[in-house]
Amino acid sequence: MQQLISNGVQAEYLRSAFPTHSWPNWLSLATGLYTENHGMTADYMWDKESKLSFERGKGSNGNETDDLWWEGLPAPLWYTAGKSGIDVHCYWFAHCHRAYYDMVVKVPPKRWTDLSTPGQTDKLSDVFPEIVNRIIKYQAYKQQLFSGRKRLSMILTVMQECEDFLVGLDDIERPPTWTAERNFLHSSNLFFFSGPMFLLRYAGVDNALRQFGAHSDEADQAIARIDLYIHELQQKLEEHNLFASTNLIVLSDHGLAPIEEEEQFYLEECLSDYSKVIKVVNLHSMLMVFTEPEDEGHVHFELRVCDQWAPMGDYEDTDTLLVKAYKLSEIPERLHWANSRFMSGVVLLTKPGTSIITRELPSVPSASDQSREAKQTGGWDPDTAQMRGIFMARGPAFKVNEKVGPVEIVDIYQTLLNILAVEPAHSHNGTWSNVEGMLASGWEERPNSDRFNDVAQIFCSFLRVRRNGATCNDTIAFIYNHDRNSGRFTDECFIVVDGEKSTTQHIVCKALLSK
C-alpha cells in the first residue's frame, strides 16, 4: 500500500459509525448518515411487531426477501450517482443490487454480497482486467469533439458492452425496452464523457481476523494478498496512463478487537427470571434486550448491578465496569444510535475485548450460532483505537504524498459525490473540513451550482436509448447550457426527432442530431 500512500493521501485514521458493525457502516458509507439516521441499526436486528429477524451472515445481503429492513432507507451513493448519469458497477458491495425506488444497478448474482460465503472475494484481482478495460473504453470519448451522429454511435457501442448499469425498473419489467442514462461534461467547447464508478469489497482480512485472530498465518496471508491486489491494480492503471483521470480510494469501514478469554460472560447469570426477556439481539460487544414495558425497569436494574460486570469495583464506578447497562434514553448522544429503528428498551455495551452471549434465552443470532468460537469482532465504541479503520486515496482529485487528520465514515459520501460533481440526494452528517484538505486544487468545491470553477462549467445531459428498432434519428440527446452567474439554464430549448424540431419544457438544450 506504500505505493498508494506516496502517490496520494492518507488519513490518520477513519472513525466508524456506532455500532462498529459491518451493516451500519456500509450504510453510513453509502449515505453519509449516522446509524440512527439511515436505519440499519446493527448486524443483527429484530422487529417486535412482525417477529422478523435480520442476521448478518444469512445468505446474500442478510435477509434478502424481507423488505422490512430496506423500506424507507435514504438514497444510497450508487443511486444518486446513477441518476446523474454515472455508470455504476458493483463487486460484492453490500445491497448495491437492490432496487431503490425507480432504478436498480444490474449486478450479476455472482457479484452480490453473501456473507455466508466467506471466500467469495478471494479472487478479487480476477475482475481487474474488465475494470481497467471499461475505464480505457471511456478515454476515447474524453477531450474529443465529435459530430453528433458519430458521438452517439460511439456511446451506444460502449453501453452495449457494459454488463451492468443503472436502468429503469419499469423498463426491466417490459423487455426488451430499457433506458440507460449517461453523463456529459461540457467545458471550453470540448465534450467530456464521464467515466464509470466501481465499488468493490474485499472480505479476506475481515474473515481471517474473525476466525483465526490477528497473529495467525491466515491473517498475515490475507493482509499480504490485499496489499498485492492494490499494487496490481495500480500497476494496471499506470500501464495505461489512467491515473490522470482515475481516482482510487481504499478504506476499511471499521476495526476489530480480540475477544478476551477471561472477560466472556453469559447474560443469564445476571437475571433472576428469564421469562421477563422476550429476545436478546446481537452478541459479544453489544446486546439489545427486549422486554415487555412493565418488565423493563426490573431487567435493567438487574443488569446494571450484576456482579459479573464489576470484578474490580462496585457497579457505581463506571470506569471499572466491563459492561454498562443503559436504558434507551441513557445511550450517549455522541454515538448517534439511540433513535435507530428496531431498538430495545435495554441495551448492554461492553468494553473492548469483553464479550456477552446467551445460551438459554431466545436470541438473534441463535444460541447455537453464538456458541461458535470467534477470535475477533467489532461493535465496540468507535472512539476506541482498535475500532478505527483506514483511509487512503490516489488520483487527480487528491494531493500527493499528503498526510491528513482523521476522517469519519460519514465523510466519504460527500467526498465521492464531490469528485463526481454530483449533488447529494439528502442532508448528511459529513463534515467538509475533515476532507477538504486532502483534495487537490480545483477539486474542493465541484457539485454546487453556485460554486462552479470559472474554467469548468459543468452540465448534465441524459442519453435515452431504445432497443425496439430505434435508429440514431430517433435518439434524443440534450446538452444543458448553464449560466454560472445566474445559476440558470439559458438559450433556446429544442430537440430534434426524425429531423423535426420540437420544444421541451424546463430543459434548455441544443440538438446534437441536427449537426
pLDDT confidence bin for 510, thresholds 50/70/90: very low
In a 13 Å sphere around the CA of 248, the CA atoms on its Cβ side amount to 25
CA distances 284 to 21, 41, 381, 409, Å, are: 11, 16, 13, 23
Q: Which domain holds residue 77?
A: 2-258+385-451
| Domain stop point among 347, 373, 399 | 373
Q: Is 131 found in the same domain as 98?
A: yes
pLDDT given at position 175: 31
> What's the structural domain count of the chain?
2
Read off the CATH number of the domain in which 132 is found.
3.40.720.10
Q: Is 180 found in the same domain as 44?
A: yes
pLDDT given at position 64: 58
Q: Is 153 found in the same domain as 42?
A: yes
- The verdict on residue 163 lying in a domain is yes
Question: Across all residues in the chain, what is the average pLDDT?
Answer: 78
Comparing C-alpha atoms, which of 339, 341, 350 is closest to residue 387? 350
Helices 148-161, 128-139: axis angle to 10 degrees equals 180
Q: Is 9 found in the same domain as 34?
A: yes
- The verdict on residue 161 lying in a domain is yes
- The verdict on residue 487 lying in a domain is no
Q: Is the peptide bond before 352 cis (omega within 30 degrees of 0)?
A: no
Residues of the chain above pLDDT 70, percent = 72
- The verdict on residue 153 lying in a domain is yes
CA 254, 259, 263, 265 torsion: positive or negative? positive
Q: Is 122 found in the same domain as 106?
A: yes
Q: And the C-alpha cell for 451?
A: 460554486
- The verdict on residue 472 lying in a domain is no
Beta carbons of 459 and 480 less than 8 angstroms apart = yes
pLDDT given at position 88: 92
CA distances 160 to 150, 179, 477, Å, are: 16, 12, 17
Q: Is 266 found in the same domain as 253?
A: no
Q: Is the confidence at residue 437, as pLDDT, over 70? A: yes
Read off the CATH number of the domain in which 366 is found.
3.30.1360.180
Task: Note the pLDDT tens digit of each residue in 42-82.
Answer: 999 999 999 999 998 775 444 656 788 988 899 999 999 99
Q: Is 173 found in the same domain as 148?
A: yes
Beta carbons of 508 and 491 less than 8 angstroms apart = yes
pLDDT confidence bin for 186, thresholds 50/70/90: very low
Task: Note the pLDDT tens digit of each residue in 143-184.
Answer: 443 444 444 444 444 444 444 444 445 444 433 222 233 333
Beta carbons of 92 and 198 less than 8 angstroms apart = no
